[in-house]
């Protein structure tokens, strides 16, 4: 009988230790009210319908964002030569808006003209293509 009682007490101790190990103690927060730990049963999981709604909204946003990027032909790009106030240049398939740059006044910068594909010239420029990261991408160049 004594052995059974000792075993039961030990099992009770083990169960209490296991049960209490996963719980967070409740501590007062900055406002003085106790914080409650969230147990897995309280975690809200989205329904299948909500997950589909979120995915659809994300896909629509991606399509909308992609549609804002215009595809320019070389002829269309040539219209943005800086003479009409807008100066665009292309590099490796991306079209950049350089209109607000003092470097591209009147659509020209160190022998490079706005409204053209500068891929070959940019690789030879002293500053390289890294300078273009300062300008916004307004489209892609259609080949």
Cα–Cα distance measured from residue 37 to residue 90, given in angstroms and rounded to the nearest whole number: 55
Report the alpha-carbon angle 13-15-18, nearest 5: 110
Q: What is the DSSP letter of 114?
A: T
- Contact indicator for 24, 36 with CB cutoff of 8 Å: no
Q: Could you tell me the end-to-end alpha-carbon distance of the chain, in angstroms, rounded to an integer?
A: 90
Q: Residue 61: what pLDDT?
A: 52
The per-residue pLDDT for range 86-133, each reduced to its tens digit, is 999 999 999 999 998 888 888 888 888 899 998 888 777 777 777 888
Q: Which CATH architecture has domain 71-141?
A: Roll (3.10)
Model confidence at 54, pLDDT cuts 50, 70, 90, reads low
Cα–Cα distance measured from residue 107 to residue 89, given in angstroms and rounded to the nearest whole number: 10
The per-residue pLDDT for range 62-77, each reduced to its tens digit, is 544 555 689 999 999 9
Structure token digits, residue 133:
């990261």
């Amino acid at each position: 009988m004594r052995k059974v009682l000792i075993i039961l007490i030990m099992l009770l101790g083990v169960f209490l230790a296991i049960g209490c190990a996963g719980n967070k103690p409740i501590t007062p927060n900055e406002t003085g009210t106790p914080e409650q730990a969230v147990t897995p049963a309280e975690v809200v999981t989205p329904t299948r319908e909500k997950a589909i709604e979120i995915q659809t909204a994300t896909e629509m946003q991606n399509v909308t964002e992609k549609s804002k990027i215009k595809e320019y032909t070389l002829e269309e790009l040539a219209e943005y030569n800086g003479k009409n106030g807008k100066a665009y240049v292309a590099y490796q398939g991306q079209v950049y808006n350089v209109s607000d740059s003092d470097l591209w006044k009147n659509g020209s910068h160190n022998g490079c003209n706005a409204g053209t594909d500068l891929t070959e010239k940019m690789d030879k420029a002293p500053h390289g293509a890294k300078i273009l990261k300062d300008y916004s991408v307004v489209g892609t160049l259609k080949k």
